[in-house]
Amino acid sequence: MTADSRESLVPPEARAMVGQRLGQPATGEITLKDAQRFAKAVDDLNPLYFDEAAAREAGYRTLIVPPTYLGYVTAQHGTLADLRIDGLYRSGSRGPQLRVKRVMFGGEDWDFLSPAYVGDTITAETRLAGLEEKDGASGPFVLMTTETTYTNQLGEVVARARGRSIAR
């Protein structure tokens, strides 16, 4: 079967989802305890996360948090039945239905636009940004791109993450 004659891995219904939101927005409040535990767990002991005087001296209104903490504070939690074998929770989001057997993580790029502070409430909204069908050495695959926007309680976008998944 040639590449031109095979059935597309991306059905029209999936292609129509590009630009749409995947699931409901997720919200989380940044607490001092959790933000500092996260910083310690990732071995990022920046004084701006632990010393309020240092944060204010550096021009911040209060303590800031490690940038990728945004993904943690907005992560949805669930029951034991929702826990995947890799330790992550099933998201419950409605992603595109592709004609593939498996999907794997393909990377993530972040743009940090302004700091997130202890006490902020962050909302994450994820949209399907793109679906590209490609031919690789192991055969056809789909490069799926999502974009998650992180907004604080003031409506300010503090970060964007572009995630890629490879579906075969």
CATH topology (fold) of 12-167: Thiol Ester Dehydrase; Chain A (3.10.129)
CA–CA dist 23, 27 (Å, integer): 13
- CA 94 to chain centroid, in Å, comes to 15
Domain boundaries, the chain: 12-167
pTM of the model: 0.87
Burial (CB count <10 Å: 0-12, 13-18, 19+), residue 118: buried
**pLDDT tens, position by position, for the chain (168 residues)?**
445 557 899 999 999 999 999 989 999 999 999 999 999 999 999 999 999 999 999 999 999 999 999 999 998 777 788 777 766 666 666 678 899 888 888 999 999 999 999 999 999 999 999 999 999 998 899 999 999 999 999 999 999 999 999 999
CA–CA dist 101, 15 (Å, integer): 18
